[in-house]
Amino acid sequence: MAAVSAELRFGQVSFSYGTVPALRDVSFALAPGERAALLGRNGAGKSTLLRLVTGLLHPAAGKVSVGDWDTRGRAPESLARRVGSVFQHADQQLFARSLRDDVAFGPRALGLAAAEVARRVDGALAALELSAHAAEHPYDLPPAFRKLAALAGAFALEPAVLVLDEPTAGLDRPLRARVARALSERAAAGVVVLVATHDLAFAAEVLERGLVLDRGRLAWDAPLAALLTSSERLTPLGLAPPVGAALSAALDLPGRPVRERDVAHTLARVAAARGRV
């Protein structure tokens, strides 16, 4: 699923929009197959960080690298061989006459042979259960489906690194589950997955590591579960525990599960032990 695997590395990266600083001295590395959540308040620098990965922006200081490639001096279209991205308003970024053509745009631009393009497009559409809509015009579909199509377009690049900005905003639960499944498959195949999101319930389901930005600085870099079970850690960072975690804390469930399914199982077990089913 990834043509090559590569590490994503930020080394002491800073960036400003004119005089407004957006990122300060950010360092971290994500290994192939790692699944990380990029969290923080509105305006903390999440989208800026993702744009630095895609080469749409370049650091004012420090270095961003994807495997042995320094993003500096590489245009986004060159980086697209290794980085697939979906932006916040992805439903607006489709332009072809059919979903299939839209998803095929990236692999075609990479200069791949027609058979390879077709293989990748079929795989990407299938991964998000969009095959039945392949021939439809993107703007005949609801925005949520266009968002999935933009994600399929990123999958079709078979990148080493996937960066996604709020991939679940505007999606209902069945569509969120599709995205969760597809991202887990990609990570299992060695793709670095980095997701900026406010949807901590989704993050808890799919992602393992938590990177939290606070006013442009990396304030937290550790396993997500350790963060999501601690209101003391979340609150100063402008975050709130997902409802599953809040419920298991309120009911004092053993092991403090965070994922909704785990909360339900623990709840059932404890209730049975208390003899109240």
| Contact residues for another protein, defined by CB under 8 A | 17-18, 20, 40-43, 46-47, 88-89, 92, 140, 142-145, 165-166, 169-175, 198, 201, 238-240, 242-244, 246-247, 250-251, 260-261, 263-265, 267-268, 271, 276-277
Per-residue tokens: 137: 């015009």
Task: Round to whole Å and give the CA distance between 23 and 59.
Answer: 9
Provide, rounded to whole angstroms, the least separation between the CB of residue 116 and another protein: 32
Least distance between another protein and beta carbon 174 (Å) = 6
Paired tokens of 219: 């304030």
- Give yes or no for a contact between 213 and 219, defined as CB atoms under 8 angstroms apart: yes
Q: Are 175 and 146 in contact (CB under 8 A)?
A: no
Q: Tell me whether residue 3 or residue 169 sits nearer to another protein (CB atom).
A: 169
CB 245 within 8 A of CB 210: no
Token pair 């392949």 in the structure block, residue: 134
* Sole residue written with tokens 């793709």: 191
Q: How near is the Cβ of 247 to another protein at its closest, in Å?
A: 5
Residue 40 or 62 having the CB closest to another protein: 40
Q: How far apart are CA 62 and CA 69, in angstroms?
A: 14
* Whole-number CA gyration radius for the chain: 19
Residues 6+ apart with CB under 8 A from 261: none
29 vs 243 by CB, closer to another protein: 243
CB of 80 to another protein, least distance (A): 22
DSSP code of residue 237 = G
Give whichever of 46 and 74 is closer to another protein, judged by the CB atom. 46
* Residue closer to another protein (CB basis): 145 or 155: 145
Nearer to another protein, 6 or 224 (CB): 224
Please report how close the Cβ of residue 132 comes to another protein at its closest, in angstroms: 14
CB of 201 to another protein, least distance (A): 7
| Residues in a beta bridge with 35 | 193
Residue 233 CB, nearest distance to another protein (Å)?
A: 14
HEC letters along 120-152: HHHHHHHHCCCHHHCCCCHHHCCHHHHHHHHHH
Q: Which is nearer to another protein, 115 or 250 (CB)?
A: 250
